C-alpha cells in the first residue's frame, strides 16, 4: 500500500514539472512570434532599453547644465559693478517731436548799449529777458569781452514772472552762438518728466534748457521749482540727452535754494532732471 502511494506522488510531481516547462516554452515561442527575437536578442533589448534610459537622463542633465551656463553668462554680461549713472530708460516708443518756437536773437548793438550803460566794478552785469526762446550770436558776446561783467537772462512765464534765470559769469569765453533760455514747463519739460515718472520711482523735477550740448563753461541756473516732498539735501542732478536716450550725473551742481529758486551749476544744456535721491527703477 505504501509503495502504491509513493508511486502516485512521484507521478503527480512529474506531471506538474512537465506542465511548467510546457508553459515556459509556450511563452517564449509566443514572444518570438510576436517580436521575431530570440532569448539572446531579448537580453540585448533589455541592455539597449537600459542604455536609452541612461541616455535620456544624460540629456536632461546636459540641458540643465546648458541652461545654468547660459544664465550665468547672461548675468555676467548685464552686470555693471560701479555704473557712473543708472541706464537711461529704454524708449519703447519714438521720442515725442520737439515743439519748438522760433528763436529770438539778441541785437549786437543793443548788447553794446547795455554794456555802456551798465555800472562798472565788481558785481557788474547786464540782463535780458524774454518769454520766447532766446540766444546771442557769437558777435553779440564781443561787447562783453573787456567789460568785466557777467551776463544774465530771465525766461519769463505768461504772467511776466521769472521761471528760469541763466547766468554766464565769463561771457568773454563764449566763442559761438548760445541759447540762454530755459523752462520748467511746456512740451519739452513735461515730456521728460512724464518719461522719467514712467520708468523710475523717484520724485523728479525737470528744467529744460534750450541750449543743446555744452555751454563751453560752467553756467549758473536758477529755477522756480516746487520742491515739496523732496529732500533738498539729497537731490541728484542728471543731464538727459533726449535724442540719444542717454544721461549722466552732474557731479558738482553745488545746489542751494534762495528766495524760492533752486540754484545749481551745469556745463551742458538740454533736459536737467533733478531727482529726490539716486534714480531707482520702478
Is CATH 2.60.220 what the domain over 103-276 is classified as, yes or no? yes
For 151, other C-beta atoms within 10 Å of its C-beta total 28
For residues 235 and 273, the answer to whether their CB atoms sit within 8 Å is no
**Residues listed for the chain:** 282
Average pLDDT value over all residues in the chain: 77
Q: What is the pLDDT of residue 86?
A: 64
> pLDDT tens digits, residue range 122-162?
789 999 999 999 999 999 999 999 888 999 999 999 999 99
pLDDT (0 to 100) of residue 119: 81
DSSP 170-223: -GGG--S-EE--EESSSHHHHHHHHHHHHHB-S-EEEEEEEEEEEEEEEEEEEE
As a whole number of angstroms, the distance between CA 205 and CA 272 comes to 8
What predicted TM-score, i.e. pTM, was given to this entire model? 0.67
pLDDT for 89 equals 65
In order along the chain (282 residues), what is the average pLDDT of each group of 10 residues? 48 48 46 44 41 33 39 32 52 50 93 90 91 97 92 96 98 96 96 96 98 95 97 97 92 96 97 97 92
Q: Quote the pLDDT of residue 169.
A: 97
Q: Where are the domains of the chain?
A: 2-74, 103-276
Amino acid at each position: 500500500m505504501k509503495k502504491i502511494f509513493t508511486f502516485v506522488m512521484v507521478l503527480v510531481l512529474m506531471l506538474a514539472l512537465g506542465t511548467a516547462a510546457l508553459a515556459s516554452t509556450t511563452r517564449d515561442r509566443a514572444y518570438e512570434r510576436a517580436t521575431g527575437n530570440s532569448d539572446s536578442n531579448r537580453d540585448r533589448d533589455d541592455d539597449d532599453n537600459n542604455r536609452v534610459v541612461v541616455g535620456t537622463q544624460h540629456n536632461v542633465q546636459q540641458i540643465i547644465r546648458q541652461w545654468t551656463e547660459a544664465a550665468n553668462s547672461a548675468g555676467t554680461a548685464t552686470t555693471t559693478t560701479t555704473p557712473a549713472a543708472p541706464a537711461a530708460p529704454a524708449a519703447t516708443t519714438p521720442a515725442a517731436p520737439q515743439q519748438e518756437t522760433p528763436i529770438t536773437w539778441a541785437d549786437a548793438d543793443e548788447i553794446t548799449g547795455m554794456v555802456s550803460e551798465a555800472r562798472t566794478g565788481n558785481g557788474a552785469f547786464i540782463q535780458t529777458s524774454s518769454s520766447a526762446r532766446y540766444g546771442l550770436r557769437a558777435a553779440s558776446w564781443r561787447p562783453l569781452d573787456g567789460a568785466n561783467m557777467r551776463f544774465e537772462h530771465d525766461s519769463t512765464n505768461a504772467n511776466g514772472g521769472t521761471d528760469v534765470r541763466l547766468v554766464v559769469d565769463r561771457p568773454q569765453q563764449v566763442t559761438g552762438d548760445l541759447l540762454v533760455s530755459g523752462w520748467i514747463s511746456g512740451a519739452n519739460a513735461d515730456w521728460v518728466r512724464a518719461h522719467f515718472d514712467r520708468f523710475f520711482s523717484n520724485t523728479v523735477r525737470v528744467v529744460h534748457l534750450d541750449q543743446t550740448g555744452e555751454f563751453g563753461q560752467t553756467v549758473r541756473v536758477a529755477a522756480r521749482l516746487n520742491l515739496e516732498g523732496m529732500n533738498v539735501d539729497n537731490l541728484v542732478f542728471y543731464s538727459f540727452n533726449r535724442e540719444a536716450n542717454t544721461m549722466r550725473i552732474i557731479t558738482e551742481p553745488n545746489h542751494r535754494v534762495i528766495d524760492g529758486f533752486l540754484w545749481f551749476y551745469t556745463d551742458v544744456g538740454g533736459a536737467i532732471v533733478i531727482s529726490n535721491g539716486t534714480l531707482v527703477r520702478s
